[in-house]
A and B are shown apart, each in its own frame.
Chain A
Amino acid sequence: MSSANPELLLQIDHVSKRFPGVVALDDVSFDVRRGEVLGLLGENGAGKSTILKIISGAQLPDQGTIYWDGKPVSITSPQTAQSLGIVTIYQEFNLVPTLSVAENIFIGREPLHFGRFVDWKKMRADARAITQRIGLSIDPDAPVSELSVAEQQMVEIARALSIEARLIIMDEPTSALSGAEVDRLVGIVRTLRSQGVSVMFVTHRLEEAMTLCDRVTILRDGKLAANLNRDELAIPTFIEKMVGRAASNLYSRPTTRRQAGAVRLSIRGLKSVVTAEKQRGVVLKGIDLDIRAGEILGIAGLVGAGRTELARAIFGADMKTADRFQIDGEDVTIRSPRDAMRYGIGLVPEDRKLQALFLQLAIRRNFSVASLDRFMRLGVFVDEAKEAAELQRFRTMMNVRMTGPDQLISNLSGGNQQKIVLSRWLSLDPKILIVDEPTRGIDIAAKAEVHEILDTLANRGIAVVVISSELPEVMAVADRIVTMREGRLTGEVAPEEATQEKLMSLMALDDATVKG
């Protein structure tokens, strides 16, 4: 690789990294040019995180060279990376929630009076100037804990700019954002580019890579799969390079249509109860919904539309009132997840790590935590053999890649973790299974597998509710799609008639016809 090209900001030259038993990166080369947006794609396990860690100074490569501004550099620590002008924004933000926006932007580099006292006035003014540079109007004194996820991300970007970052690496920046917020982020990234800042954009969302990136680098199994130029960018190419085969049937619908059965769950006038503890959340304002046996009901809506709140209300995790709440035609009262489980309702929550997994516990304990009653010996002891046998059954059925029941769940990939969470609920033989963001943060191959599992469940007569921010996903798996906006249902669409534009207009537009 020539290191003389003045356009090149960062060059990764034949870099390899090994861990015991695993080659995480194998002879990978690519570069980032000045003022461009480079997309980095790859399935989970392709080596994206490792290369990010190497560039940001968290790990050293075993072989290969990194050039910065044409000179070989050794990035031995995050401080080194920062002094070069490389800032990484991770999915989990590095912000102090109790401090203000300005304090977070200048943390550790506060402007000082007399070299000793914090110059608050200057700090506020500087913070305002930087946030304006990315078109963010925000009170520099607001505590970060009161900001939305999207705004917190902007604060991270502002901080990167305040230390004069020349390369900003964003790791899955859009995974927690709603449609409008993504658009705003895209705008900011373009602004950065026009100001000469380079951006490395790691994403799972191929459409984004298509619209936003100047060039795309794709990794697969630790190796470089492709460096694509502007004119080579195309979603089918991305998929082919990422999975190593032409993926013509990605998100394809099963050809045979299911016949939905009787109404399992019938809800009328479902409203959230707002308590002092929970004032901020989205409020459900009267939901009427029937969910049938053997169908997959898709719920589409932007972040903040109340999709997750609806799921939690049905599951008894949040307080609610309803004019009617019937399961199989009988009125039931559900006040807790425990009640919901008694009536055969299961919930796979949206945030696996925070709400579903016990990361430091073994797979078997994660698997059986909700269904221990079914694995008892003498009515008292946990029957570990039976538990392991049942886990093995699901492992085979879902093709879970794991070493054994006592392996820690944190050692599994996102897709395999999600399969264990699904197994957990399936071992309870649920009548109604609500799955919130079934494939968030998992790779394409595992996504297809999860979709297949959901399909099988519906075929078995389970009423499946799928909530997803990814419209293509909802359109691919659902037999019926309802849209939500601001705590209300705003429409129902059959998947044959559904287009992203049509759904988006129901989800996002004020004048959409409000149902019921």
Chain B
Amino acid sequence: MSSSIKSTALEPTKAELEQLSTAQKLWRLAPVFGLPIFTVILIVLFSVVLPDTFPTMLNLRSILNDKSIIAILSLAAMIPMMAGRIDLTVGYGIVLWHVLAIALQTKMGLSWPMACLIVILLGCVLGLINGFLVELAQIDSFIATLGTGTILYALAQWYTEGRQVIGVLPKGFTELYSSMPLGIPISTFYVAALAIALWAVAEYLPIGRYLYAIGANQRAALLNGIPTRRYVIGSFVASGILGAIAGILLAARLRIGQASVGLEFLLPALVGAFLGSTTIKPGRVNVWGTIMGVAILAIGISGIQQMGGDFYVEPLFNGITLLIAIGLAGYAQRRRGSVTHTRAQQPNSPPPTAA
């Protein structure tokens, strides 16, 4: 019913690696580091072809500046994915949130911190609604969030009536995005802080263990005393809040609110998280994998555009990379699967380390 995302871990264990030859080790580790290696290859390639424009601080800044919002949305989408759910509202929400973040200031006359707070609260409410629909009304997460997302989009259209929301914004608000501490766009620091915090939660806190357990087998999770409903709803709330923050940052960046902007973030954000599930901890969505996924898309697209690629290159590159990465991961998994199976049949043979 709620099987939008299935995952099977591919990460080799130390003990497994010990008994393999170097070539086999590389093959087994390829899924773990394939994407980072490909990223490095792309960087080297573009740096050689475009020595004047690609490997520059300016380009790095522009990539970081451009992609930080997608990175935050990707991380937002990743949280419900840990529990085996998908949240499409990360892309729809940002449309309404960035319009509201501006309108609450220019039309309602609220201070910018107040406007931000209200948007974040609304993001939280959206997450609760999504969580209730998925866990209490038992609607598949894909369908539930497609529904709520479309409604949000309609609200944004209705509110703006197709016009731009403009007005003078306080410096404090626009600096949320435009300041450059240490010469690096501030949004980079947001992404870094968020990634580190989420990584600690996902890998080292019980809540991360529980979310992955729910994603792996919800029935078993329940029978092990994990309050699965609460955690799944919580994962949507976290995703909703991060989506709202991304909306605020988009508003600070564009300084104009319009309902035609934002939806194009949905697919890259999901692609980032899906790509992430093929690397670092292959087989399950994970923080550094997600960051890696967003990074490879950013680097690839930047390079291709500088080489004169057209405007449609971005979605083309996103789509192709996703299919190749997921395809290869699935292939590696099936190959592994056949070997795993025979290993599982040999309980009476001594453990491989002793063999």
A interface list, Cβ under 8 A from B: 19-22, 24, 43-45, 47, 49-50, 221, 315, 317, 336-338, 340-341, 347, 349, 354-362, 365, 368-370, 372-373, 376, 380-382, 401-404, 406-408, 410-416, 424, 443, 445-446
* Residues on B with beta carbons closer than 8 Å to the beta carbon of A382: 204-206, 209
Which of A49, A317, A336, A445 has a CB less than 8 Å from the CB of B345? Answer: A49
**CB pair A22 B342 closer than 8 Å:** yes
**CB pair A45 B339 closer than 8 Å:** no
**CB pair B348 A45 closer than 8 Å:** yes
Q: Tell me the complex Cα distance, A356–B217, Å.
A: 8
* Residues on B with beta carbons closer than 8 Å to the beta carbon of A445: 348
Chain B: residues with Cβ within 8 Å of the partner, total of 46
The reply to whether the CB of B8 lies closer than 8 angstroms to some CB of chain A is yes
**CB pair A406 B213 closer than 8 Å:** no
**CB pair B213 A22 closer than 8 Å:** no
The reply to whether the CB of B107 lies closer than 8 angstroms to some CB of chain A is no
- Residue on A nearest B350 in the bound complex, by CB: A401
* Residues on B with beta carbons closer than 8 Å to the beta carbon of A408: 9, 13, 340
* Residues on A with beta carbons closer than 8 Å to the beta carbon of B220: 354-358
**CB pair A369 B348 closer than 8 Å:** no
Quote the shortest CB–CB distance from A220 to chain B (angstroms).
9
- Residue on A nearest B351 in the bound complex, by CB: A403
* Residues on A with beta carbons closer than 8 Å to the beta carbon of B346: 22, 24, 45, 413
* Residues on B with beta carbons closer than 8 Å to the beta carbon of A446: 347
Interface positions of B from 120 to 152, Cβ below 8 Å from A: none
Q: Tell me the complex Cα distance, A358–B223, Å.
A: 12
**CB pair A22 B222 closer than 8 Å:** no
Q: A381-B204, A382-B205, A407-B13 are in contact. Are A50 and B345 (CB under 8 A)?
A: yes
**CB pair B347 A44 closer than 8 Å:** yes
The reply to whether the CB of B171 lies closer than 8 angstroms to some CB of chain A is no
The listed residue with most A CB atoms (<10 A of its CB), out of B210, B224, B341, B351, is B224
- Residue on B nearest A383 in the bound complex, by CB: B204
**CB pair A407 B225 closer than 8 Å:** no
* Residues on B with beta carbons closer than 8 Å to the beta carbon of A376: 206
B interface list, Cβ under 8 A from A: 7-9, 11, 13-16, 19, 200, 204-206, 209-210, 212-213, 216-217, 219-227, 283-284, 339-353, 355
**CB pair B348 A43 closer than 8 Å:** yes
- Residue on A nearest B340 in the bound complex, by CB: A411
Give me the 8 closest cross-chain CB pairs, A-B, nearest first: A413-B347, A403-B15, A358-B216, A19-B342, A370-B224, A338-B225, A372-B206, A406-B13
Q: Tell me the complex Cα distance, A135–B171, Å.
A: 83
**CB pair B221 A369 closer than 8 Å:** yes
Q: Tell me the complex Cα distance, A317–B221, Å.
A: 12
* Residues on B with beta carbons closer than 8 Å to the beta carbon of A43: 348
Quote the shortest CB–CB distance from B136 to chain A (angstroms).
12
Quote the shortest CB–CB distance from B2 to chain A (angstroms).
15
Quote the shortest CB–CB distance from A230 to chain B (angstroms).
29
Quote the shortest CB–CB distance from A516 to chain B (angstroms).
29
Q: A341-B225, A369-B226, A443-B347 are in contact. Are A403 and B339 (CB under 8 A)?
A: no
- Residue on A nearest B19 in the bound complex, by CB: A21
Quote the shortest CB–CB distance from A341 to chain B (angstroms).
4
* Residues on B with beta carbons closer than 8 Å to the beta carbon of A424: 224
- Residue on A nearest B138 in the bound complex, by CB: A277
* Residues on B with beta carbons closer than 8 Å to the beta carbon of A22: 342-343, 346, 349
* Besides the known contacts A359-B216, A362-B13, 5 further A-B residue pairs in the complex with CB atoms under 8 A apart: A45-B345, A50-B345, A382-B204, A403-B353, A412-B347
Q: Tell me the complex Cα distance, A407–B350, Å.
A: 15
Quote the shortest CB–CB distance from B324 to chain A (angstroms).
22
* Residues on A with beta carbons closer than 8 Å to the beta carbon of B342: 19, 22, 24, 50
**CB pair A365 B13 closer than 8 Å:** no
**CB pair B347 A45 closer than 8 Å:** yes
**CB pair A369 B344 closer than 8 Å:** no
**CB pair A404 B226 closer than 8 Å:** no
**CB pair B217 A403 closer than 8 Å:** no
* Residues on A with beta carbons closer than 8 Å to the beta carbon of B205: 380-382
* Residues on B with beta carbons closer than 8 Å to the beta carbon of A369: 209-210, 213, 221, 224, 226
**CB pair B217 A20 closer than 8 Å:** no
**CB pair A21 B13 closer than 8 Å:** no
